[in-house]
């Protein structure tokens, strides 16, 4: 592989790094400025809150009541293995477009941001963005989230859409016409 191709293959991981850095900086700010369990500021007539809550499970607090050892396996070890597998896939795959590589890198960044919290923060993941959804799905507010969560959701949805709707233009994937006899 030439140098240009190598650089192109590794460049999306800049997004991974940016997401991790922004996620950890915002969480450190929240921990240092906002007392846990309080609303720091409210915007747009209570539509958006900046708060400080902790989540000892995964999205929507799923698994909060599991034993600590099982949580470490299900919420740290297993996701870490999956993220490493995704990194390998991005580096080896010839089928992903460059856009899709960037999206997978965004998923990896979001996943690693929350895994770092689970590994190094005593009360696990720091969440701080609370959005009012006015009774949608029977909830007044969407479950509180963070930069890593946002990255996972946005890049995950975009990756799914790109896999469904984007036509891949890969060498050898063109339709070949059968000669008429």
In the chain, DSSP assigns E strands to 39-43, 48-55, 125-131
Query: How many Å apart are CA 132 and CA 163, to the nearest integer?
Result: 31
- Report d(CA 26, CA 22) in Å as an integer: 6
The DSSP symbol for 34 reads S
Residues involved in catalysis: 127, 149
Q: In angstroms, how far is CA 139 from the centroid of its own chain? A: 23
Residue with tokens 């460049």, as numbered in its chain: 11
């Amino acid at each position: 592989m030439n140098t240009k191709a190598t650089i192109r293959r590794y460049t999306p991981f800049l997004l991974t790094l940016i997401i991790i850095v922004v996620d950890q900086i915002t969480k450190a700010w929240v921990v240092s400025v906002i007392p846990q369990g309080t609303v720091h500021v409210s915007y747009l007539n209570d539509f958006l809150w900046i708060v400080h809550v902790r989540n000892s499970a995964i999205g929507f607090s799923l698994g909060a009541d599991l034993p600590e050892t099982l949580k470490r396996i299900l919420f740290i070890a297993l996701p870490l293995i999956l993220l490493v597998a995704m990194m390998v896939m991005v580096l080896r795959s010839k089928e992903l477009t460059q856009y899709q590589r960037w999206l997978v890198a965004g998923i990896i960044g979001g996943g690693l941001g929350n895994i770092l919290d689970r590994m190094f923060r005593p009360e696990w993941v720091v969440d701080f963005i609370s959005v009012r959804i006015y009774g949608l799905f029977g909830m007044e507010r969407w479950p509180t989230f963070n930069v890593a969560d946002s990255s996972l959701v946005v890049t995950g949805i975009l990756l799914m859409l790109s896999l469904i709707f984007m036509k891949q233009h890969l060498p050898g994937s063109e339709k070949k016409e059968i000669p008429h006899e």
